[in-house]
């Protein structure tokens, strides 16, 4: 098992590879399709990004966190340690997601809409298994952890 710094570097290198990127994007497209079929309400309130206030935490895989970091426009600002220790997502800008197109699976399937709770959990578990398979298929160590903690590995 690698230390966090080496592991983060490996995730970054893997997320930059076209075949890994394509695999993640296929999972994200499947999520978008399933969500479109369900039509959950999103009020763009930003509540889902304020983890402590809403009483939930976002969990991601190392590869997903790396994918967001690799493709982020303002990588260094978002990965500053004071920002990572805040009450919500470091990529939140006002009520909006600053990395909407490249956000991890947990963000994609989470909706404040209470009618979405059961199917979003089922969808997340099914697609998370596909993300794990991408890790395995490409020899990328799998870790699943809290979003800000995973991002902190890249800031180190």
Confidence of residue 12 (pLDDT cuts 50, 70, 90): very high
pLDDT digits (tens, 9 = 90+) for 13-42: 999 999 999 999 999 999 999 888 877 667
Give kind and range of the element (H or E) at residue 134: helix 117-137
Give pLDDT, residue 135.
96
Residues 112 and 99: their CA atoms lie apart, in Å, by 19
* Percentage of the chain modeled with pLDDT above 90: 36
Mean pLDDT score across all residues of the chain: 83
Instruction: Confirm if 2 and 132 have CB atoms less than 8 A apart.
Output: no
Query: pLDDT: is 81 or 64 the higher one?
Result: 64
Q: Which two tokens stand for residue 141?
A: 């160590």
Buried b (16+ CB within 10 A) or exposed e, 82-100: ebbeeebbbbbeeeebbbe
Q: How confident is the model at residue 99 (pLDDT cuts 50, 70, 90)?
A: confident
The model's confidence at residue 115, banded by pLDDT at 50, 70 and 90, is: low
Quick one: which of 57, 129, 112 has its CA closest to 89? 57
Confidence class for position 67, pLDDT limits 50, 70, 90: very high
Q: Quick one: pLDDT band at residue 1, thresholds 50, 70, 90?
A: very low
Instruction: Report how far residue 40's alpha carbon sits from residue 108's, in angstroms, rounded to the nearest whole number.
Output: 11
Every domain of the chain and the residues it spans: 4-155
- Letter string b/e over residues 31-56, b meaning 16 or more CB atoms within 10 A of that residue's CB: beebbeeeebeeeeebebbbbeeeee
Give the per-residue pLDDT at 64: 95
Per-residue three-class SS string for 32-66: HHHHHHHCCCCCCCCHHHCHHHHCCCCEEEHHHHH
């Amino acid at each position: 098992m690698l230390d966090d710094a080496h592991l983060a570097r490996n995730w970054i290198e893997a997320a930059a590879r076209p075949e890994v990127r394509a695999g993640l994007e296929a999972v994200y497209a499947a999520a978008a399709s399933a969500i479109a079929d369900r039509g959950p309400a999103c009020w763009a309130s930003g509540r889902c990004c304020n983890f402590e206030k809403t009483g939930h935490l976002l969990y991601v895989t190392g590869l997903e966190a790396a994918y967001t970091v690799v493709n982020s426009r303002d990588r260094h600002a978002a990965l500053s340690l004071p920002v990572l220790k805040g009450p919500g997502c470091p990529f939140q800008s006002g009520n909006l997601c600053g990395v909407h197109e490249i956000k991890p699976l947990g963000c994609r399937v989470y909706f404040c809409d209470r009618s979405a709770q059961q199917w979003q959990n089922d969808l997340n578990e099914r697609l998370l298994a596909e993300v794990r398979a991408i890790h395995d298929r490409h020899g990328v160590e799998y870790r699943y952890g809290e979003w800000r903690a995973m991002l902190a590995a890249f800031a180190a």
